[in-house]
C-alpha cells in the first residue's frame, strides 16, 4: 500500500551514522510534544543505552514517548533495559512476539525504521539501535519535513494499535497523539510519498519499484545489503540492461553479517552480468543501506531486495520524485561505486570452484526457504 504523492516537503540525505545519529538525537532532545520510534533491531549496548537515555529524558520533561520494537529483533534487549525504559516513562510495545501460532505469522516481522519528533520531523532508513551502526556498518538515512510526515505518523499509529502488538504501552495512547501530529506546515519543496508493505499479504514497495524499472529512461541504480532477488525482479533488471538502460547494483563485499545470504545472491551474478547489469561490491565495510535511484525517482527506507523483505516483512520506504534530491543520491552512489570492486563478466566466469559450491549450497537453502511462502 502507499500514501498519496504530496508536494511541498523537504528531504535531507544523511549518509553514515556520523551524520544521521547526531541529527536524530538532537531532534529527540528538542522534542516538546511527542517522540515516536519504531525499530526492528534494538540490542543492549552503547547505542541502545544512549537512545534509552534520550527517550527517558524526553519522557521526564513531559513528552509523550512511544517505542515500538519487533518481538524478534528486540530479543537482544535485556529485561533490565526494558524495565528501565518503562520505569522512565517510555511506552513500550512489541510487534508479534514469537509464539506457538502459525509459521507464517512468526515469519512476518516489523522491519520498519522510523523516528518522528513532534509530528514535524521524521527519519527513516535502514538503521537500528545496535552498536554495529556506530562504526562498523555503512548506513544511510533521510530526514523528512512537510506534509508527508503525517503519513508516517498514521502508519506508526496503525501498527501501535494492532492486535498483534503487545506490551504495557496503552494502545489508546496513539489516538491522542494522532490529533497532535496531523498538523501541517507549508514547505516549498519536494514531492514525496510513503510506500509500505504488509508482510506476505501485499508488498507495494515491490510493485512501485517494478513500475519504475519498466518506465526507466536512463538509469536504474540499486543498493541493498541482502540481494536475493525474486525471479520477476531479475528479469526486469536484465531486460532494462538489454534495452540500453544503465543498470547498476551496489552490494556488500566480503564484509557481511550473513555471508550465506551473499553467496545465495551471487548465484544470479552470471546471468545479470551477461545481460549488461553492472555489479559493484562495496569494500570499506559492510554496507547495510537500502536505497534506489531510477532516473529522478529515489526510494530510501527499510526494504531489502530479498525474499524476506519482499514477501514476509512489514517494510516502509520514503519515495522522492525530485531532480535536486536525485542528484544528491546519484552523487552518493558514485562515491560508493568508487569505493567498490566492480565484478566483470569474464572475471566471474573464472571464479574458484569452492566459490561455486558455496553459491550452490546457499542457493538451494534459499530456494527451500522461499517455497515456505
320 domain-assigned: yes
Do 271 and 351 have their domain in common? yes
What pLDDT score was predicted for residue 161? Answer: 85
At 311 the pLDDT is 66
Q: Is residue 190 part of a domain?
A: yes
Within a 13 Å sphere around the CA of 95, how many CA atoms are in the beta-carbon half? 29
What is the residue whose three cell numbers read 520506504?
Answer: 317
Give residue for cell 529485561: 79
Residue 294 lies in a domain: yes
Asked whether residue 255 falls in the same domain as residue 186, the answer is no
Among residues 135, 160, 195, the one where a domain terminates is 195
Q: 219 and 118 in one domain?
A: no
Going residue by residue through the chain, which has 373 residues, state the pLDDT in tens, using 9 for 90 and above: 567 999 999 999 999 999 999 999 999 999 999 999 999 999 999 999 999 999 999 999 999 999 999 999 999 999 999 999 999 999 999 998 877 665 666 678 899 999 999 999 999 999 999 999 998 999 999 999 999 999 999 999 989 987 677 766 666 666 666 555 555 555 568 999 999 876 554 578 888 999 999 999 999 999 999 999 888 999 999 999 999 999 999 999 999 999 999 999 999 999 999 999 999 999 999 999 999 999 999 999 998 877 665 667 889 999 999 999 999 999 999 999 999 999 999 999 999 898 998 888 988 887 776 665 5
Cell of 44: 543492549
The verdict on 51 and 167 lying in the same domain is yes
Q: Are residues 94 and 186 in the same domain?
A: yes
- Let me know whether 128 and 238 are in one domain: no
Query: Are residue 132 and residue 75 in the same domain, yes or no?
Result: yes
Q: Which DSSP state fits 344? A: P
Q: Confirm whether 347 is domain-assigned.
A: yes
With b for 16 or more beta-carbon neighbours within 10 A and e for fewer, the 107-133 pattern comes to bbbbbbbbbbbbbbbbbbbbbbbbebb
233 plus 191 within the same structural domain? no
pLDDT at site 230: 86
Query: CA 221 → CA 216, 291, 331, distances in Å?
Result: 11, 9, 12
- Domain count of the chain? 2
Residue 281 domain-assigned (yes or no): yes
Identify whether residues 15 and 134 lie together within a single domain: yes
Q: Return the residue matching grid coordinates 568508487.
A: 338
Residue 254 lies in a domain: yes
Q: Are residues 130 and 203 in the same domain?
A: no
Same domain, 177 and 203: no
Reference 165, options 90, 96, 225; nearest CA is 96
CATH number, domain of 170, equals 3.30.870.10
The C-alpha atoms of residue 334 and residue 352 are separated, in whole angstroms, by 29
Q: Which of 195, 229, 246 is the last residue of a domain?
A: 195
Considering the domain boundaries, does residue 1 fall inside one? no
Predicted local distance difference test score (pLDDT) of residue 1 = 59
Q: Are residues 182 and 210 in the same domain?
A: no
Q: H or E stretch including 272?
A: helix 269-275
58 φ, ψ (degrees, to nearest 5)? -65, -45
**Residues 305/345, Cβ–Cβ less than 8 Å:** no
C-alpha cell, 282:
562495496
**Which one of 195, 227, 248 terminates a domain?**
195
Residue 167 gets the label, from left (phi > 0), alpha (psi -120 to 50) or beta, of left
Taking CA atoms, 287 is separated from 112, 137, 254, 300, 304, in Å, by 18, 6, 10, 14, 12
Task: Tell me which residue range forms the domain holding 191.
Answer: 6-195
Whether residue 16 is contained in a domain is answered as: yes
Amino acid at each position: 500500500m502507499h500514501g498519496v504523492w504530496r508536494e511541498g516537503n523537504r528531504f535531507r540525505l544523511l549518509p553514515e551514522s556520523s551524520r544521521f545519529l547526531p541529527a536524530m538525537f538532537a531532534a529527540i532532545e528538542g522534542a516538546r510534544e511527542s517522540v515516536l520510534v519504531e525499530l526492528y533491531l534494538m540490542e543492549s549496548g552503547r547505542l541502545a543505552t544512549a537512545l534509552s537515555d534520550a527517550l527517558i529524558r524526553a519522557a521526564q520533561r513531559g513528552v509523550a514517548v512511544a517505542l515500538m520494537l519487533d518481538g524478534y529483533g528486540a530479543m537482544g534487549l535485556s529485561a533490565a533495559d526494558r524495565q528501565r525504559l518503562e520505569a522512565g516513562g517510555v511506552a513500550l510495545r512489541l510487534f508479534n512476539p514469537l509464539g506457538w501460532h502459525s509459521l507464517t505469522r512468526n515469519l512476518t516481522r516489523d522491519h520498519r525504521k522510523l523516528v518522528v519528533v513532534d509530528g514535524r520531523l521524521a527519519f527513516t532508513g535502514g538503521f537500528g539501535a545496535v552498536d554495529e551502526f556506530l562504526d562498523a556498518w555503512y548506513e544511510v538515512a533521510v530526514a523528512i519535513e512537510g506534509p508527508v510526515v503525517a503519513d508516517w505518523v498514521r502508519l506508526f499509529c496503525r501498527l501501535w494499535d494492532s492486535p498483534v502488538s503487545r506490551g504495557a504501552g496503552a494502545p489508546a495512547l496513539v489516538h491522542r497523539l494522532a490529533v497532535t501530529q496531523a498538523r501541517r506546515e507549508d514547505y516549498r519543496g519536494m514531492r514525496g510519498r510513503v510506500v509500505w508493505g504488509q508482510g506476505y499479504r501485499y508488498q507495494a514497495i515491490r510493485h512501485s519499484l517494478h513500475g519504475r524499472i519498466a518506465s526507466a529512461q536512463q538509469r536504474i541504480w540499486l543498493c541493498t545489503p541482502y540481494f536475493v532477488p525474486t525471479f520477476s525482479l531479475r528479469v526486469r533488471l536484465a531486460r532494462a540492461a538489454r534495452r540500453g538502460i544503465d543498470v547498476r547494483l551496489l552490494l556488500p563485499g566480503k564484509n557481511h553479517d550473513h555471508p550465506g545470504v551473499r553467496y545465495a545472491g551471487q548465484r544470479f551474478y552470471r546471468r545479470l552480468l551477461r545481460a549488461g547489469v553492472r555489479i559493484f561490491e562495496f569494500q570499506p565495510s559492510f554496507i547495510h543501506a537500502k536505497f534506489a535511484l531510477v532516473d529522478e525517482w529515489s526510494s530510501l527506507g527499510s526494504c531489502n531486495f530479498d525474499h524476506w523483505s519482499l514477501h514476509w516483512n512489514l517494510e516502509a520506504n520514503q519515495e522522492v520524485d525530485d531532480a535536486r534530491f536525485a542528484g544528491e543520491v546519484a552523487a552518493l552512489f558514485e562515491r560508493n561505486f568508487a569505493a567498490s570492486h566492480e565484478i566483470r563478466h569474464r572475471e566471474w566466469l573464472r571464479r574458484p570452484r569452492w566459490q561455486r559450491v558455496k553459491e550452490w549450497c546457499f542457493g538451494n537453502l534459499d530456494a527451500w526457504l522461499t517455497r515456505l511462502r
